[in-house]
């Protein structure tokens, strides 16, 4: 993304988050700025592996979550109360804040179209700043920064990877994931939104 595209997306992200009117939003925005969230990539080589990739991914997940919420309301009207729109927005925008500080730029090597090796500026991952996991790290960071969140939002962010990392988790963790999904539809909405953003919107 260009600097001006990042600036436009950042304005959109800040406006959406401020519109939730939650206590702690300004501290969250300041911390995200400090950690480099707005210019971080979303991955080292898959979706959004470029400056601003994480910001764009968060906005894409937000867009998907709002659409999925509305589609579920058509099928089951009480989802409107169970999943307030601001919950879908807040959980989607902030689900991956754990990634804000983990990407470092480094010179990498690759073969170009002519088969010659060339250097390029890529990313590597460094978890050493706060090795607390993924979804759980996002929730803990947000609580550290004083963000007011509902339990449904915390559970949705904690379990947003859904079944993706189930093979690496304990039976107890699997049971918690199932229970989180039963307690409130937001967990399923966010997990589906993350998958659709990553593999439909961002994978061409
Ligand atoms: Fe994630
Ligand atoms: Fe994500």
The answer to whether the beta carbons of residues 89 and 19 sit under 8 Å apart is yes
**Chain centroid to CA 36: how far?**
14
Say how many C-beta atoms besides its own lie within 10 A of residue 107's C-beta: 8
In this structure, which ligand is nearest to the CA of 198?
2
Ligand 2 centre distance from Cα of residue 199 (Å)? 11
Ligand 2 centre distance from Cα of residue 198 (Å)? 7
Ligand 2 centre distance from Cα of residue 14 (Å)? 18
Query: For residue 171, what pLDDT is reported?
Result: 87
Ligand 2 centre distance from Cα of residue 96 (Å)? 5
Q: Is 104 helix (H, G, I), strand (E, B) or coil?
A: strand
Any idea which residue has 């925008």 for tokens?
Answer: 93
- What is the tens place of the pLDDT at every residue in 112-126? 989 999 998 889 999
Domain range summary for the chain, segments of one domain joined by +? 3-201
In this structure, which ligand is nearest to the CA of 60?
2
Ligand 2 centre distance from Cα of residue 107 (Å)? 25
Could you say which residues of the chain have pLDDT below 70? Answer: 165-168
- What is the tens place of the pLDDT at every residue in 24-39? 999 999 999 999 999 9
- CA dihedral defined by 40, 191, 64, 202, rounded to 10 degrees? 50
Query: For residue 165, what pLDDT is reported?
Result: 67
Ligand 2 centre distance from Cα of residue 138 (Å)? 11
What's the predicted TM-score (pTM) here? 0.93
Instruction: Give the integer Cα–Cα distance in Å for 78 and 9.
Output: 32
Which residues are placed with Cβ below 5 angstroms of ligand 2, an ion? 96, 194
Query: For residue 47, what pLDDT is reported?
Result: 73
Ligand 1 centre distance from Cα of residue 115 (Å)? 34
């Amino acid at each position: 993304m260009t600097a001006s595209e990042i600036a436009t997306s950042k304005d959109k992200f800040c406006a959406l988050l401020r519109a939730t009117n939650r206590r702690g939003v300004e501290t969250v925005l300041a911390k995200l700025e400090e950690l480099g969230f707005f210019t971080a990539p979303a991955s080292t080589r898959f979706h959004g592996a470029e400056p601003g990739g994480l910001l764009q991914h968060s906005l894409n997940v937000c867009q998907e979550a709002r659409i999925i919420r509305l589609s579920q309301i058509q099928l089951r009207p009480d989802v409107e109360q169970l999943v307030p729109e601001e919950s879908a927005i807040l959980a989607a925008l902030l689900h991956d804040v754990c990634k804000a500080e983990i990407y470092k730029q480094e010179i990498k090597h690759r073969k170009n179209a002519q088969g010659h090796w060339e250097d390029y500026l890529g990313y590597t991952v460094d978890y050493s700043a706060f090795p607390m996991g993924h979804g759980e790290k996002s929730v803990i960071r947000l609580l550290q920064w004083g963000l007011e969140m509902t339990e449904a939002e915390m559970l949705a962010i904690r379990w947003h990877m859904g079944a993706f990392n189930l093979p690496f988790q304990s039976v107890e963790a699997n049971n918690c994931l199932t229970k989180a999904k039963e307690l409130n539809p937001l967990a399923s909405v966010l997990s589906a939104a993350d998958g659709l953003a990553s593999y439909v919107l961002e994978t061409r």
